[in-house]
């Protein structure tokens, strides 16, 4: 992945070493923005130099079609014909951003893997700073640290930040508030992770399993060009819950803690009933109230505990049944051409090696 020759000094090594970067873009609604994103990446395929003097080159741009509602597939085919460094990975249905990203990481070949969105908000000019930080801090993952606020409502932004901080504190994860879809990952690490990642995995939590060297780079988030976010509040909650389940058995331990807390509350209520003089004056009313309180607390705790346990069982069942994280298929146009005619198989381009059909 790295072209280099033996030289006596580290500075000289930097002068002759060129790091290759595979760019993975999960595509859901990229009809209007994807062309501009790829055209910005195109000059970097000829080679560039980071602010610290490190040479790098984007060796491939992998577009992963996640079956969105627009005509992104048409744009992707046009880009593949126009640019020799563009390749497409077709998923059989919508599997979600994290699964699509992992699918692209699995077939990447670069020394580093850069993941970014298709909406144009991520600035490719920051790639050099990503690489400098990764080398300087020997990081396995480098996340973007946006210096400006995301174009979302105040409530949504606050809820997102607070939930990630709470998740990190409760489940002993790295600072989850750092998690971003604009990230640079060591290529060998990303491809190995893709080999064992199971259905329902949250990519950033999975990355925390394989490296504790995480860094951030300040960059600016560009405007979304008026496009409405595809993430509703239920979808965001589903992602948050996936982070909880992916974190391991910490959720099950939380059930045990919840049971202990409820037991202590019940003990406190019992002590209050026994020693309080007000309770002794009207035992019938006090007994009814305390019974209802204990009943509600215990039944609520039981239902919450059963729900958490059921979620873990569901994840285990999906894995045991072999439910895939994603499924790669052939180009739909070669199977079901728009004109109703049987299309001839696509001829592989000589300038790159295409993945075998169905390869992960």
Instruction: Taking residues 13-24, report their average pLDDT.
Output: 81
The number of domains in the chain is: 2
> DSSP string covering 256-321, please?
HHHHHHHHHHHHHHHHHHHH-HHHHH-HHHHHHHHHHHHHHHHHHHHHHHHHHHHHHHHHHHHHHT
Band (pLDDT 50/70/90 cuts) for residue 151 is low
Average pLDDT of the chain? 76
What is the C-alpha separation between 166 and 241, in angstroms, rounded?
A: 12
Rounded to the nearest 10°, the torsion over CA 336, 338, 339, 345 is -50
What is the C-alpha separation between 135 and 131, in angstroms, rounded?
A: 6
What is the C-alpha separation between 151 and 296, in angstroms, rounded?
A: 41
359 inside domain: no
Spatial CB neighbours of 15, under 8 Å, sequence gap ≥ 6: 7, 53, 55
Determine which helix (DSSP H) or strand (DSSP E) holds 169, and give its type and residue range: helix 154-171
1 inside domain: no
Band (pLDDT 50/70/90 cuts) for residue 348 is very low
In a shared domain, residues 90 and 208: yes
Tens-place pLDDT, residues 272-284: 766 765 555 555 5
In a shared domain, residues 90 and 196: yes
Band (pLDDT 50/70/90 cuts) for residue 228 is very low
In a shared domain, residues 55 and 153: yes
239 inside domain: no
CATH code (residue 104): 3.90.550.10
Instruction: Taking residues 259-265, report their average pLDDT.
Output: 70
> Each residue of 44-56: b (16+ CB within 10 Å) or e?
bbeebebeeebbb
Higher pLDDT, 204 or 306: 204
191 inside domain: yes
In a shared domain, residues 221 and 270: no
58 inside domain: yes
In this structure, what token pair is assigned to residue 145?
Answer: 């640290």
From the number of C-beta atoms within 10 Å of its C-beta (0-12, 13-18, 19+), residue 317 rates as exposed
> Is it the case that residue 91 has pLDDT exceeding 90?
yes
Domain of residue 285, residue span: 250-320
Give Dmax over CA atoms of the chain in angstroms: 92
The residues that bridge with 328 in the sheet, in sequence order, are: 91
What is the C-alpha separation between 355 and 96, in angstroms, rounded?
A: 21
In a shared domain, residues 133 and 189: yes
Taking residue 211's Cβ as centre, other Cβ atoms within 10 Å add up to 15
Instruction: Taking residues 353-360, report their average pLDDT.
Output: 38
């Amino acid at each position: 992945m790295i072209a280099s020759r033996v030289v006596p000094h580290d500075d000289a090594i930097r002068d002759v070493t060129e790091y290759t970067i595979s760019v993975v873009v999960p595509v859901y609604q990229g009809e209007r923005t994807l062309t501009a994103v790829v055209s910005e990446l195109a000059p970097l395929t000829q080679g560039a130099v980071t602010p610290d003097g490190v040479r790098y080159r984007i060796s491939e741009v992998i577009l992963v079609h996640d079956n969105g509602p627009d005509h992104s597939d048409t744009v992707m085919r046009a880009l593949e014909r126009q640019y020799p460094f563009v390749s497409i990975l077709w998923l059989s249905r919508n599997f979600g951003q994290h699964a699509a990203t992992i699918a692209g990481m699995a077939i990447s070949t670069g020394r580093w893997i850069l993941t970014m969105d298709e909406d144009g908000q991520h600035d490719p000019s920051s790639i050099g700073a990503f690489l400098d930080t990764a080398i300087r801090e020997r990081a396995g993952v480098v996340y973007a640290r946006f210096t400006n606020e995301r174009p979302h409502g105040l409530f949504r932004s606050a809820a997102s930040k607070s939930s990630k901080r709470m998740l990190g504190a409760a489940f002993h994860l790295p600072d989850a508030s750092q998690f971003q879809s604009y990230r640079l990952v060591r290529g060998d690490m990303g491809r190995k992770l893709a080999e064992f990642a199971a259905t329902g995995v949250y990519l950033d939590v999975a990355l925390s399993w394989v490296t504790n060297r995480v860094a951030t780079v300040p960059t600016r988030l560009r405007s979304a060009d008026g496009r409405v976010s595809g993430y509703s509040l239920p979808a965001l909650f589903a992602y948050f819950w996936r982070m909880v389940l992916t974190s391991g058995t910490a959720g099950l331990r939380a059930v045990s803690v919840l049971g202990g807390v409820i037991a202590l509350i019940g003990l406190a209520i019992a002590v209050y009933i026994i020693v309080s003089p007000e309770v002794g004056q009207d035992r019938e009313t006090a007994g009814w109230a305390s019974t209802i309180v204990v009943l509600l607390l215990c039944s609520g705790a039981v239902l919450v505990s059963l729900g958490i346990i059921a979620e873990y069982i569901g994840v285990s069942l999906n894995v045991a049944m072999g439910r895939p994280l994603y499924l790669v298929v052939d180009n739909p146009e070669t199977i079901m051409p728009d004109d109703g005619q049987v299309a001839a198989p696509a001829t592989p381009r000589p300038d790159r090696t295409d993945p075998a059909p169905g390869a992960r």
